[in-house]
A and B are shown apart, each in its own frame.
Chain A
Amino acid sequence: MKLNAPNLDVDALIRDRSITIIVCTGAGGVGKTTTAAALALRAAEQGRDVCVLTIDPAKRLAQAMGLSVLDNTPRLVAGVCGPAGTGSLHAMMLDMKRTFDEVVEGNADPERAQAILDNPFYQALSSSFAGTQEYMAMEKLGQLRAAASAESSWDLIVVDTPPSRSALDFLDAPERLGSFLDGRFIRILTAPARGAGRGIGKLAAFSFGLFTNVLNKILGSQVLADVGSFVAAIDTTFGGFRERADATYKLLQDSGTSFIVIAAPERDALREAAFFVERLKTDSMPLAGLVLNRVQGGGEIDLSAEQATASAERLEKMGEDERLTAALLRLHANRQKIHTRQLHLAERFTAAHPGVAATTVPALAEDVHDLAGLREIGDLLAKKPEPPSRSK
């Protein structure tokens, strides 16, 4: 597919040594993890020391990278090296609960850490809160980045983002969790312990009474007590979740970070991509460009869907001997229709975001099973579009 957009030069991006973080994002089911893995492998084979953080890879993709256990630590992928023995690839799968536990253990004395780990609210929060995965992905990125500068173990981190409800969730989740833990609600919940009610106005006192009353009614007092003791325990040891969230956010705005937005030529996925592109702009986060996956070929020959259909109809009336060619023309017409629709959707995106560079990857029939499969995707990602060969 020939897009009316500047070409996203993937090789230039991964060769640029000033880029140390590449974030792959997009709606669910567009091939984010595979794209992240393919980019990471390509970068490693061009001499970078790469670590790829995947969130929830399909089993076979994980196997392709030699990841059989989810142990939250980067593992060296065997059989990957770049020119003259340079370059390496580490890969890991995020274990969100483990990461959260480590944050707790690393920031509190053992006794207090245990109190937090044992708290029922913490256990629920760390294993099932819809935003925890996003938050922990960012936390892990921060850790990998710190390890990278301390041990010079890798010079490029490629991050896959969680399969969020919306691609934007992962930008907002840390902030949301941070502001919750820092916020008014928590201060009110933990206030009784600090002698609350003092100095607040009549209306606020009334609201407060109503508020705790309602919460107790709905949640039961045990839940509130759990939340309260969790926050009290975490409050004194963390130096503010918001600060951590802010630091992560800043890291994403750094000029050494580059975002790749991934989509498929479908309405929803492209809409999601458009939101993301706009959001990155608003938050001054550096966008490298768009990867459009699963693109159906078409337009290689000058035979429109309408022409092909009309000719097929004519041939079908002529009898048995012409059936094969008629069927081939119908196949071509279908393919052309899909191509036209996809092109139309992609052009809507490129027209609305004219500066955004893009590259396309054709739909592949089979999943990636091994490094060779990832290499092939890397080649397709980096393939430069052919110059226009003929005018229309």
Chain B
Amino acid sequence: MTDVWWPGVALHVVSGKGGTGKTTVAAALALALAHQGKRTLLMEVEDRQGIAQLFDTAPLPYEERKIAVAPGGGEVWALALNAQEALLDYLDTFYNLRRAGSVLRRMGAIDFATTIAPGLRDVLLTGKACEVVRRIDKRAPNAYSAIVLDAPPTGRISRFLNVNSEVSGLAKVGPIRNHADLVMSVISSPRTAVHLVTLLEEMPVQETIDGVSDLRSANLPVGGIFVNMTRPPMLTSEQLREARSGTLPALGIERSLAEAGLTFDNQVVTALMHEANDHAVRVDLEAREATRITELGLPTFMLPLISEGIDLGGLYQLANLLRECGVR
């Protein structure tokens, strides 16, 4: 397939249920989008230093840094966002007030704004992402070709992005309100796509379906579904049927094991057949859940489970798969 997905999108927001591999998919996406000499920015907002861990580097500061190169001369940069720094940044950019920071901190105002005041924290974080997007529009020399945001989980994503309604309870008019409007004009535009990561299991799929409907009712642009850690069938459909009913030919398996020069006992044959049964059950479950995902009618990308665990090599592997599917 030669089409490229989301050609006009500058901000890719990646969400998903906890434990589905959001950060991994966000990183693979940033790598995939950085092909052929492009430069992308991978941002995280939850103070977890997930990016640094994944790329095996020291904790990231509040500063854009190059963390990986992509095939063809592309680069992935990273930024670990933090609400306090984002607030000082905001004061500096809009009010030239960076020096007021220490006074504000002493008074407890920074703490108030970033942890207590409802919604402010989210406006500051999404606001920073939108500032980076606007660099593209301004053709600034430090502009990226795309930004990938490793966002909060599905349960909170609509609220996180819908900053307008978040601050409306707090500020009906005033600068924060204007700022929220500005942020919203980027986030709800076709320049943004919100992607959801899921596993082919009941609960994450249900959360994805609910998440898509939440995003739609908040008029937020839904991008694609990234199905992570899939286990493609390793047996033919006939073999799966036999594995399910426990009728795989035990004698044949024994003969083959001997052929392969393995020393084994009955236990081994039984265990292999048992594992085949587990696999068949898992394949059935994944097929069932995949149907529910397909019914959403959204672009869907399958990423395999990497048995060795995700390291840099695994990330490149996933990025390549995405690129082959037209994500670049």
Contacts and interface: CB of A to CB of B under 8 A. Distances in A.
A260 B107 CA distance: 38
A384 B319 CA distance: 42
A267 B107 contact: no
B103 A220 contact: no
A338 B95 contact: no
A307 B262 contact: yes
B275 A311 contact: no
A391 interface: no
Given A219-B171, A223-B170, A185 B108 contact: yes
A124 B275 contact: no
A177 interface: yes
Interface in A44-95: 56, 58-60
B285 A332 contact: no
B46 A165 contact: yes
Contacts of A271: 53
Contact of A311 (B50, B104, B206, B262): B262
Interface residues of B, number: 77
A219 B107 contact: no
A180 B262 contact: no
Interface in A317-358: 318, 321-322, 324-332, 334-335, 337-338, 341
B107 A180 contact: no
A150 to B, nearest CB: 33
Contact of A315 (B95, B166, B260, B281): B260
B18 A327 contact: no
B182 interface: no
B256 A207 contact: no
B68 interface: no
Contacts of A58: 203, 206-207
B130 to A, nearest CB: 17
Interface of A is mostly: helix
Interface stretch (A24-32, A102-110, A244-252): A24-32
A217 interface: yes
B104 A211 contact: yes
A75 B282 CA distance: 35
A128 B282 contact: no
A314 interface: yes
Contact of B103 (A130, A210, A219): A210
Contacts of B256: 315, 321-322, 324-326
A331 B171 contact: no
Interface residues of A, number: 76
Interface in B192-208: 201-203, 206-207
A294 to B, nearest CB: 8
B18 A27 contact: yes
A131 interface: yes
Nearest to B271: A301
B280 to A, nearest CB: 10
A365 interface: yes
Contacts of A332: 271-272, 275
A202 to B, nearest CB: 14
B276 A219 contact: no
B253 A184 contact: no
Interface in B128-157: 152-153, 155
B58 interface: no
B220 to A, nearest CB: 17
Nearest to B102: A207
Given A185-B111, A211-B104, A223 B174 contact: yes
A293 to B, nearest CB: 10
B309 interface: yes
B169 interface: yes
A337 B306 CA distance: 10
Contacts of B294: none
A335 B111 contact: no
B115 interface: yes
B207 to A, nearest CB: 8
Contacts of A60: 202, 206
A243 interface: no
B115 A341 contact: no
Contacts of A208: 107
Interface string B270-290: 011101101101100100000
A188 interface: yes
Contacts of B121: 130
Contacts of A125: 116, 118
A111 interface: no
A163 interface: yes
A268 interface: yes
Interface string B170-212: 1111111100000000000000000000000111001100000
A214 B91 contact: yes
Contacts of B95: 214, 217-218
Contacts of A366: 202, 285
B274 to A, nearest CB: 8
B296 interface: no
Nearest to B286: A365
13 contacts: A29-B20, A124-B118, A130-B115, A166-B47, A185-B112, A207-B107, A214-B104, A223-B176, A269-B19, A315-B260, A325-B253, A332-B271, A337-B307
Rank and list the top 8 A-B pairs by shortest CB-CB distance, nearest first. A220-B174, A29-B18, A28-B18, A29-B19, A185-B108, A325-B256, A124-B169, A337-B307
Interface of A: 27-30, 56, 58-60, 120-121, 123-125, 127-131, 163, 165-166, 176-177, 180, 183-185, 188, 207-208, 210-211, 214-215, 217-220, 222-223, 226, 264, 266-269, 271, 297, 300-301, 303, 307, 311-312, 314-315, 318, 321-322, 324-332, 334-335, 337-338, 341, 365-367
Given A218-B175, A267-B53, A341-B308, 8 more contacts: A29-B19, A124-B169, A129-B116, A211-B103, A211-B109, A219-B175, A329-B260, A332-B275
